[in-house]
Amino acid sequence: MEQVIFWILAIGTVASSVAVIVPPMGRNPVHGALSLVVAFFFLAGLYVMLVAHLVAVLQVLIYAGAIVVLFLFVIMLLNIQSEDLGHPRPTISKLIGVIAVGFVSIVLIGFILKDKGMAEPPVGLPSDSTFGTVKTVGNLLYTSYIVPFELTSILLLVAVIGAVIMAKRRL
């Protein structure tokens, strides 16, 4: 049962993320952004399988809800017609890049599947476990990770200022 759900979600994730980059769908950036939303929803399902409830909610709330909306905003702001982009030219360097990435991934996957330690099932959790819920992760976030938490606010401040400076025409 679990494996069936895993395969459905995994195939859905890979298929929709391939659709983001492969020309028939990815040719139009709006279609690319929408298949990105689909990929994020499938990933949220996978996070639930990994008992990461808070992160699954964040995935839907921030990635699918905010970041992709920003992408769609920019696509509509720029309103690029597909003829403006020119035709994709398959050059030799792109081919080499794809072959290199494929080779490295296959070697990595080979090592992962060969390793005995990684084939073991994960540690068992009691059925009423609070693993990955808002309270337990939040407790870590606001006690052990105070400094990164405050640094995030500075990062967001810098992001706001930078984005306003670059996006606003007249200042």
Partner 1 sequence: MSGIPLSWWLTLGTVLFGVGTIGVLTRRNALVVFMSIELMLNAVNLILLAFARQRGDEHGHVLAFFIIAVAAAEAAVGLAIILSVFRHKRSVNLDDVRALKH
Partner 2 sequence: MLDSQIEYIPVLIMLAICSAAIGGMLTLNFLLGPKRKNAIKNAPFESGEKQIHSPKRRFSVKFYLVGIFFIVFDIEAVFLFPWATLYRQWLRDPAFAWVAFGEMFLFLGILSLGLVYVWRRGALEWD
> Looking at beta carbons only, is 105 or 130 nearer to partner 2?
130
Under the binding rule (CB under 8 A), the answer on residue 92 touching partner 1 is no
In b/e form, how buried is each residue of 125-152, taking b as 16+ CB within 10 angstroms? eeeeeeebeeeebeeeeeeeeeeeeeee
Q: Tabulate helix, strand, coil % of the chain (nearest 5).
A: 80, 0, 20
Under the binding rule (CB under 8 A), the answer on residue 123 touching partner 2 is no
For the CB of residue 48, give the shortest distance to partner 1 in the complex, in Å: 9
Under the binding rule (CB under 8 A), the answer on residue 141 touching partner 2 is yes
Under the binding rule (CB under 8 A), the answer on residue 62 touching partner 2 is yes
Q: What is the distance of C-alpha 91 from the center of its chain?
A: 28
55 binds, among partner 2, partner 1, none (CB under 5 to 8 A by kind): partner 1
Q: What is the distance of C-alpha 41 from the center of its chain?
A: 10
- Helices 134-143 & 146-167, crossing angle to 10 degrees? 90
23, 110, 138, 148: which one contacts partner 2 (CB under 8 A)? 138
Under the binding rule (CB under 8 A), the answer on residue 58 touching partner 2 is yes
For the CB of residue 88, give the shortest distance to partner 2 in the complex, in Å: 22
Under the binding rule (CB under 8 A), the answer on residue 130 touching partner 2 is yes
